A = this chain, B = another copy of it.
Amino acid sequence: MDYFYGPGRNHLFVPGPVNIPESVLRAMNRNNEDYRSPAIPAMTKTLLEDVKKIFKTTSGTPFIIPTTGTGAWESALTNTLSPGDRTVSFLIGQFSLLWIDQQKRLGFNVDVVESDWGQGANLDILASKLAEDTAHTIKAVCIVHNETATGVTNNLAKVRKILDDYRHPALFLVDGVSSICALDFRMDEWGVDVALTGSQKALSLPTGMGIVCASPKALVASETAKSVRVFFDWKDYLKFYKLGTFWPYTPSIQLLYGLREALDLLFEEGLDNVIARHARLGNATRLAVEAWGLKNCTQKEEWFSDTVTAVLVPPYIDSAEIVRRGWKRYNLSLGLGLNKVAGKVFRIGHLGNLNEPFELVILGYETALECSKTQTLRVIIAAEWSHGLQLLGCLAGVEMILKDVGYPVKLGSGVAAACAYLQNSTPLIASRM
């Protein structure tokens, strides 16, 4: 059929791309610019410096690549590994599966450690593999921090500990696509060698930036890695970093300004506050699921994800019908079950700009208008954040859908459970007190 829908604002609860804050939309609403003028490099410098903070690294080197998460994966792998290199990789859901597929197609020798979908990475097997690998044939351990398909968060600190226990020199490569900026992530402390995310996830931007951060050890590895690469080659970036012009090819001017605003919002709220907010949203969602009498796809509490919840439906219901109905009737976008869990789960994404920041702007103008360079001083003080109302609308929508498809949900039950929790855990908005 030769048509398309042009919808207005909808209730977006897929685990990415996520809702964009209005101030970020405003920041991006601009014409192109010459990226070779002095202005863009000057801004880029602050972006590269600040982007390290979301990885919690001081020693890492970030690359902001005009690509998606898939391209960010490829950048991480091809810059650090050579064809034939052995990797250990954990298959726990659709996104780890796709990354493993990429590793294979790029010519690596992938040692797949599989778990049931709904479980976390089997780190005991990692330990035994490292124990056996006294010859250090394993060149990299590749792990998805948060498996978006099943709502499972892996324990990265433990991965690091196992590597350390066996004094194993393998590189530690982490997909942080649905975790960084939302879950606790500590690149330096956990000795992660390459971490990566995409702009359309917890950063709450449009798709179009794969952000990769490399440890000093990863940079060294990149000097000898034999994988063929040009577009994704860190060398070209590093060359332009030295020149101070930063970009080997044209960046999106709009996304640079958007990233600047997105980072400002994150730092205003405070990265730790952002993480705490996601924990509240995750808890509220899980309490609703429980109240509905449904099961979480994630099998143990230790793996519960604070950015996405995959909800198991009874066998007599097709979860795809829930997603379809949400879109058809309630203008609510939920995530489908993928591959092995297709038809069995639907997913509620609760990450990114679900709640609005409030800025308190103190304006003090210099008094002397006669001096030709008036200074405008803006001090922006971070605010606490309201939350929950958007999520509660989503939960109410899910309840109606569940009833629509024949599940005997008690209307209001999930919302009530979430409300009871949020009502006691939501702080006042500081700047409004």
Contact = CB atoms under 8 A, between A and B. Distances in A.
Given A231-B70, A252-B206, A10 B33 contact: yes
A8 B34 contact: no
B400 A411 contact: no
Q: How many copies does the complex hold?
A: 4
Given A26-B27, A328-B429, A4 B43 contact: yes
Interface string A401-433: 001100000111111111110110011111111
A193 interface: no
Interface in A345-388: 353, 355-365, 369-382, 386-388
A35 B15 CA distance: 11
A260 to B, nearest CB: 8
Interface size range on A against B: 35 or more
Contacts of A353: 8
Contacts of A290: none
Given A331-B386, A432-B327, A6 B359 contact: yes
Contact of A10 (B17, B356, B375, B397): B356
A389 B396 contact: yes
A7 B39 contact: yes
Contact of A432 (B11, B328, B380, B420): B328
Interface stretch (A151-159, A163-171, A243-251): A243-251
B5 A17 contact: no
Given A5-B432, A363-B2, A34 B422 contact: no
A386 B381 CA distance: 33
A184 interface: no
A50 B361 contact: no
Interface in A1-45: 1-12, 14, 16-23, 25-40, 42-43, 45
Most buried by B among A27, A34, A355, A388: A34
A369 B69 CA distance: 27
Nearest to A236: B70
Nearest to A433: B328
Secondary structure at the A interface, as helix, strand, loop or mixed, is: mixed
Given A42-B4, A251-B207, A330 B364 contact: no
Contacts of A369: 53, 267, 270-272
Contacts of A10: 33, 356, 386
Contacts of A30: 22, 25-26
Given A14-B34, A329-B386, A372-B382, A3 B361 contact: yes
Nearest to A209: B208
Nearest to A371: B270
A340 B152 CA distance: 54
Interface stretch (A102-110, A115-123, A211-219, A306-314): A102-110
Contacts of A376: 264, 267-268, 379-380, 382
A192 interface: no
Nearest to A276: B372
Contacts of A416: 410-413, 415-416
A342 interface: no
A232 B21 CA distance: 31
Contacts of A71: 66-67, 231
Contacts of A415: 392, 396, 411-412, 415-416
A390 interface: yes
Given A373-B381, A392-B415, 8 more contacts: A5-B359, A5-B360, A22-B29, A26-B30, A66-B66, A67-B231, A74-B231, A375-B381
18 contacts: A2-B45, A8-B23, A9-B21, A10-B356, A17-B253, A19-B31, A38-B327, A67-B67, A68-B231, A70-B230, A198-B250, A227-B228, A268-B376, A331-B387, A389-B393, A393-B396, A400-B426, A415-B415
